[in-house]
Every structure is written in structure tokens, then in C-alpha cells.
Structure 1
Amino acid sequence: MKRPGMPNPDPAAFIKANLPISPVPSIPEIRLHTAGPASGLWRLAGRRDADPPPYWAYPWAGGAVLARHLLDGPEIVAGRRVLDLGAGSGLVAIAAAKAGAGVVTAVDIDANAVAAIGLNAAINGVDIVARAADIIEDPLPEIDLLVVGDLFYDPALALRVMAFLRRCQASGIEVLIGDPERAYLPQDELSRIAIHAVVDFGGGSSGGAVPAGVFSLFGNS
């Protein structure tokens, strides 16, 4: 919650001043603004009780495994319209753009994430359309590939996301999910197509790599 009398900082200016730029563990081709112990992230995040947690300030395994997968297999995205759902820092969107996607859109419910995505895209020399929105109940986007990193950490969110992914697949949109097999990943509805060892921010203080998977929905062509 915002402290009384404190002005809201400009997100982009705050990120540039307080979140240093560093290579992503396991993805050295990409650099991001990443929060550290001295970032004072509370000054930007959680200004109101309803504000989303600042997941965008750290790279997570689900995004990292998708980014690694796309960079290693650029034919997956070459020339295609790609949307990164729950994009956070923009890691997966940036990887898609660097791998040769035609148009890349990054969507997150947090406006601070969108500010970070803009800065991170510029650092990496790619163009990304970033939007602050919840699109899960909206009409389906006009895209070829939907990428989803680490959105299965909450049971209610997992149900909403899967319903959206099923709608996308039924309309002909390919879906790829990156996840280190968190508790609410519906593995009985998914097919694992790749696995990579990547560093996960939530994996403890050791900084070691964890196995994370890239999944498609059953029935994806």
C-alpha cells in the first residue's frame, strides 16, 4: 500500500533508475531490467491493495524455458504473429522478436510491466507492441502463436487461462506453454515437447538451474 504523502513514481523512470540491466540467467542473449535487494520495489509496486504483485521484475522459469526454446528454434516463430500472455518483463516476447517473429504483442494486467517491457525491448533492439489488459474474456486476437510462461501458480487463474487457451486452439491459434511444472499446471491436458534447464527466481537462494518444460495442448497441430 502506498505510504501517505508519497507521490506515485513514474514507472519507466523508476525502473531505469533502480532496476539494473543484466543478462538473464540461462538466456545470455537477452538483457533485462531486474530488481535486486536495493531496488526499493515497494515504492513502485503495491501502491494499492488491488495492485498485482511485481512478478514482472524478475525472470521466472516458465518464461526462461520458452525464451530458450524460441531462440534455439527460430523456425517456430519466423514471420508469425505472436502474442505473449502475462508477459511480465517481456522476456518471451523479446525472444520471439529476436528469433524473427513478424509482429510481437506482449500483454500483462500490470501497467508497470508494460513500462518494463518497453524499456527491455529497447535494450534488446526489438519492436514489441505492449498492452496493459486482461484479454482472457475478450474476443480472440488475430495471431498465429500464443506463448504463455508461468501462469499456472494460482488455481483460479489456471482455470481461466486454460479456458482461453482452448478457445485459441479451437480457432487455429497454436499455443505453447512454458512451466517448471508448478502445482496448477494441468499436465493431463498437455503434451511436453521440450525440456531445458533454466534458472528460476522462485527456486531458492542457490541460483541453480531447474528443469522446465515447453508444452503444447493436446490437439495442437
Structure 2
Amino acid sequence: MGLTLREMILRLPVLFIAISVHEYSHGYAAYKMGDGTAKMQGRLTLNPLAHIDILGALCMVLFGFGWAKAVPINPNNFRDRKKGLVLVSLAGPLSNFFIAIIGAVLYGIFARFNFGSFNIEFAEVFYGLMNQLILLNVCFGVFNLLPIPPLDGSKIVGAFLPYRIYYKVLEYERYAFPVLLILLYTNILSKVLFILINPVLKSINSLINFIVNI
């Protein structure tokens, strides 16, 4: 992707935010649905060290797409199993989109009132950080909504499948992960993702322009 050293450095704090909020949201949603597994295992936290998967984090820094250590959940504890699976799976990606929107609002306000004129160097770092905050969270959110095991999208689809078929799919989950890595490495998946991501980024850019032109 031709990342500069500066962009890679700016991605690190953004990576911690994206992963921490994503996984915390899964755990919190599960807790509200009746499953305290994540809390009991110390995963209901915003501490990034509890959630980071080294390979997934490296892929996020290099490619913009990656994963974290999945928060443990037990769907059998949900008050409503199907509803619980859907809400818990959606919670992570939706939290990333929410962070991206916050980044867009901050970017727009900063530009609208020309705060950068007071300190150009700070403005460059701020805009770079917000760009990475928006881009990485949108990429992380969209990527996790793909219906490919073990991503969140596959769990959303699985919630609507008959139990027999769903558990049959789970048997092949371990084979899906290496395929996912190959698709990322060969850029096949990246091309598909960029098609899905572009409309989201355009919408966020429209939000920034709206704020700037108020």
C-alpha cells in the first residue's frame, strides 16, 4: 500500500483504539444479553493488550485489514440466542463505524474553525491521525462484516441458519482462516473490500464537507 513511516506510526494508536473498542463492544453486548463469559475472563476491558492478536495487528498496519483475539462468548447464556448472536456480532463493526464518524466530526470542526493556523505542525499530525482513525476503523468494520469464518459477518449469517447447518459450518472454520490469509496476501480480497469501503468513505467525506461548510 506504499505506507510512509509517519503513516505507520500514526496507525499504531489508532490500531489500539479500533481493536479495543471493537472487542469491548462485543463483550459488553454479550454481557447485556446475559452472557458474562468475557467479564469473567477479564476481556470486558478497553485495555488493548487484552485483545491484540500479533498477526492480525500486523495485517491491519500493513494492509488496513486485520483482526483481534475474539472475545469469548457463550450463546447458550443469551436470553434470546438468535437475537444475541446478531447483536453481539454487529456490536464490534458498528462501534468502529461510530469511531470513524467521531473522527470525521473532529476533522470537520478542526477544519471549519481553521485551528490549524495556530500551529501547522500540530495540524498536520492531527489531520493525519484523524485520516487514519477514519480509514482504519471503516476498513476494520467492513472487513469484519464479511460472511467468512471466523469474522463477525459469518456469525450474523450463522444466527439465521438451522443449528445442524450452522455447526457443520463451524467444523470448517479452521480451514477458512488460512484461506482468508491467502486472499489478503494476494490482494484478491482487498479489491473486493475497496469496492465495499469506498461508498462508506464517500459518505464520511460528505459529512466532513457538510461540517466545514456550515
* TM bracket, shorter-chain basis: under 0.3
Q: Which has the higher strand share?
A: 1
- Tell me the TM-score normalized by structure 1: 0.25
- Tell me the TM-score normalized by structure 2: 0.25
Where relative contact order (Cα < 8 A, 6+ residues apart) is larger, the structure is 2
Q: Which has the higher helix share?
A: 2
Structure exhibiting the larger radius of gyration computed from Cα positions: 2
